[in-house]
Structure 1
Amino acid sequence: ILLLMVLLAGIAYLVRVYGVQATDPGQPGYQSVLSLLLAAVSGRGVFYYVSMVSILLVLALSANTAFADFPRLCRAIAQNNYLPHSFATRGRRLVYTQGILVLGVLAAVLLIIFGGVTDRLIPLYAVGAFLAFTLSQAGMVGHWRRVGGKGASRSMLINGLGAFATGVTVIVVLVAKFAEGAWITVLLIPALLLAMGLVRRHYHLVFLEVRSMTPLELTDTTPPLVILPVQGWNRIVKKALRFAFKISPDIRAVHIDCGQGSEIFRDEWCRYVEQPALAAGLAAPELVVLPSPYRLVLAPIVDHVLEAQRTNPGQQIAVLVPELVERHWYHHLFHNKRASVLKALLLLRGNQRIVVINVPWYLDA
């Protein structure tokens, strides 16, 4: 602190001696006071450029402090459920990636809004910094009041005076710089507090809903009703059916009849599914054909699943969704995404009794 005081006093003295005056940051040819002072003292020689590069490195280091500590602060807040838990998770580089990304985006947004002129951010910085000082000093007053002991009254007085002084500074800056950007903090800080409160409330409600203080119940182990959407007979459907037979004898295949090839599929189903199942002494899966004159595919399947869970109140519904898994990125251009959309619709419109199981088929081509 003493070194900073000496440097600040020296700069103030030299600025007065050399008659250096600050220029408008928004004007062309703008230079900082330090740049003008260095040019006045040493000229535009090597020393000037070495000094300016050194100042740049110091500023970069100070900016890096925010990227080092802000993610840690977010981690501490997230561990108390006031921020999404992703802020408390380390990335593969052993840093809190989420906090770094959010800080980078927010910094970029502020620079864009204020036209890249950092001087216009000073009111925001002043309010935020002195508000943090006020809260920390007030927190220490509460700490000494709670802990007590020898010297507690003296410490409370010192921290109380500090909280009062910084609090007055916050009010002065807010009033003086309100129109220059300080109003943003007046809106932003309460909004952040409200958002954090809502995040904590959400996590608390989720905890109350999913927690369990009872042992595992195994009284009802009725196999689920397996529903398998099928559009044709192929190796993917064969794999899904084999898995379905392993988890339940109650299997229902749902085929959407869009007016093309349904009779051919019925014959294939009888030949390739029903007859082999009966020959093996198993109940043949039920084939349900849903007409769709307007060629809708996903909506009838979702409606059928919801109707099945209403008509089978004592049974879980397991929906098997066959899906192609492409090896190369360009393969995604050749196949539709009905399986992914169907899973999303079932998850959005489903309930606790509907289970969605993915049956992948990995393409080798």
Structure 2
Amino acid sequence: MPPRSAVGRLFHFIFGRPLANAERETQKIGPLQGVPILGLDALGSASYGPEAALAVLLPLGVVGIHYVPEVLGAIICLLAILYFSYRQTIAAYPNGGGSFTVAKENLGERCGLLAAAALLVDYILNVAVGISAGVGALESAFPALQNHTLTLCLGVLLIVTFVNLRGIRESGLAWSLPTYTFVGSLAIVLGFGIFKAIQAGGHPRAVLPPAPLASSAGAISLWLILRAFASGCTAMTGVEAVSNGVPIFAEPAVKNARRTLTLIVMILGTLLAGIGFLANAYQVGAMDQRQPNYQSVISQLTAAIVGRGPLYFITIGGVLAVLTLSANTSFADFPRLCRLLAEDGYLPHAFANLGRRLVYSTGILILFVLSAILLTIFGGITDRLIPLFAVGAFGAFTMSQAGMVVHWRRLKGKGAKAALSLNGLGACTTAVALLIIIVAKFQEGAWVSVIIIPGFIWLFLAVKGHYRHTSAAIADAPSLQVWKMRPLIVVIPINGWNRVTEQALRFGAQI
């Protein structure tokens, strides 16, 4: 029934009509919608992951650019391991096999809370980094906007929050066009760039002139390459989202989730390989986002390959849309993770309540507030946020893979040994990558994530303790002694004798 008041009609128009629980199945999605809803995080990271690696290699000059294909090649190999590992997780946990669920069931409560805390930090940072990188792409095309970075970031954050409050299916439809525009236009640019590079014998016209090497470049190159790998690993954040979001897929949910994961990883791996090859071929380096006339790596590559014509602006528009909307993955998974924690008593029960559009509105609004605070603190500058990134994601990767190892050891069925070996390989590689990320980026800001994650665990335990204390306090009620109860005195205000008065007196007499 439509609302009668003007305020109610306005609310109805903005956020959509309330959905009944019976309509929940209509909110289920397929693989083509799953890519924009759960894959924007991973796909968008193809734009800033290689750039983060290139930024670290700047001290090596033009020689540093030659290491980019090797660095991204190592990242693609790690991505492939995670892909096969998470395919198994999806099949083993058809009700949602996020790191929290897998770690809690197989490694215990504390490990589950560690995985949950790492994921929450990753989701919050993904929103901030994705939006700031998207605004950076916009500023590459329109440098006059550089003085309005934070305002643009907060404006985009508000739009993404609003769309997600309207519901999962609507966000999938809204994000599909920019997602596939991004993939299609960037694929055309990269394909044309590879063709031109091959035509030029592998050496097309360089974007950057060769820079002189520092005298200490040889001594510090290995350390820089490790740091570049650590920064480039931000290109893999978001891969876990599909395993956590299996319940939102239409039946057969497991098959649709696996198809979605396959599409996301294939697209991401192809984009990373193409960007790595062309960055080396065209000698494209990273620039400081705060310097005048800043150009992102994608902007430089696109301009070098196709010029600043219509395809350039279509590509940059797609990059802008996907980067700013890559926060949508967090808005899909952050509330669901909060719901799981709330159902177990680790967060307030309000996080487990569905809103009027069958979404977990409390989690969406909290994510909006925390992301806005983070963007404000760091001024919306991507380079300041990147060092905090990836710690949470790889912490969650490691806990999930280790949990799956225990899962297969308990199962001991057909194929369990091979599955255990694959997840064991995933656990070892992600643990090594996590160690490299923490060591390489600790002083640059990774220490913040290392502190915040235990802070979240403390919060979970404090909320759980509060609920336990409350349950104990209300559980010790004495037995009801009916014979000691005195008769009630019932007072019924009467304005006059009528049928309502007669019914009220009759009810009072029955008490």
Structure 1 gap ranges (5+): 225-243, 248-365
**Alpha-carbon displacement from aligned partner over 1:225-279 (angstroms, at most 9, x marks no partner):** xxxxxxxxxxxxxxxxxxx9729xxxxxxxxxxxxxxxxxxxxxxxxxxxxxxxx
The residue matched to 1:181 in structure 2 has which SS?
helix
Q: 1:100 aligns with which of 364, 378, 388?
A: 364
Q: Deviations over 1:87-142 (max 9, x none)?
A: 11122232211111111111111112222112332232211111110010011012
Cα-to-partner distance string for 1:185-238 (whole Å, 9 max, x where unaligned): 1111111111101111111121122236886442332479xxxxxxxxxxxxxx
Q: Measure, in 2, the Cα distance between the counterparts of 1:141 and 1:108.
A: 37
Q: Note the C-alpha offset of 1:57.
A: 2.1
What is the match of residue 70 of structure 1?
A: 334
User: Unaligned regions of 5+ residues in structure 2, if any?
Assistant: 1-264, 493-511
**Is 1:123 the counterpart of 2:372 in the alignment?**
no
Partner residue, 1:235: none
- For 2:284, give the aligned amino acid: V
Taking the TM superposition and a 5 Å limit, the aligned residue runs for 1:325-336 are: none
In our comparison, the structure showing a higher alpha carbon Rg is: 1
Q: Which residue of 2 is the match for residue 198 of structure 1?
A: 462
Quick one: structure 1 residues 159 and 213, their matched pair in 2 at CA, closer, same or farther if it must change by over 3 Å?
Answer: farther
Which position in structure 2 is the counterpart of 1:81? 345
Q: Distance in 2 between matches of 1:217 and 1:50?
A: 77
SS at match of 2:389: helix
What letter matches 1:39 in structure 2? A
Match of 2:491 in 1: 246
Q: 1:124 corresponds to which letter in structure 2?
A: L
Q: How many residues align?
A: 228
Task: Summarize deviations over 1:318-338 as a string: whole Å, max 9, x none.
Answer: xxxxxxxxxxxxxxxxxxxxx
> Structure 1 residue 28 and structure 2 residue 289: aligned?
no
Larger deviation, residues 185-194 vs 202-211: 202-211
Amino acid at match of 1:194: W
The structure 2 residue matched to 1:168, chosen from 426, 432, 435, is 432
**Residue 207 (structure 1) aligns with:** 471
154-163 vs 82-91, greater mean Cα deviation = 154-163
In 2, are the aligned partners of 1:130 and 1:170 still within 8 Å (CA)? yes
Alpha-carbon separation, structure 2, partners of 1:20 and 1:211: 67
Alpha-carbon distance in 1 for matches of 2:290, 2:403:
40
Q: Partners in 1 of 2:481 and 2:350 — Cα distance?
A: 32
What TM-score results when the alignment is normalised by the length of structure 1?
0.58
Give the structure with the higher percent helix.
Answer: 2
Structure-1 residue corresponding to 2:169: none
Cα distance in structure 2, aligned partners of 1:219 and 1:71: 50
Structure 2 residue corresponding to 1:55, chosen from 305, 316, 319 = 319
Code of the residue aligned with 2:312 in structure 1: it is Y
Letter in 1 for 2:297: V
Asked if 1:19 is matched to 2:283, the reply is: yes
Provide the residue aligned with 2:17 in structure 1.
none
1:37 aligns with 2:282: no
User: Aligned partners of 2:405, 2:478: CA distance in 1, in Å?
Assistant: 44
Could you say which structure has the higher strand fraction?
A: 1
Name the residue aligned to 1:159: 423
Alignment of 1:293-312 (within 5 A): none
SS of 2:429 mapped into structure 1: helix
Contact 1:24 1:30 in 2 (8 A): yes
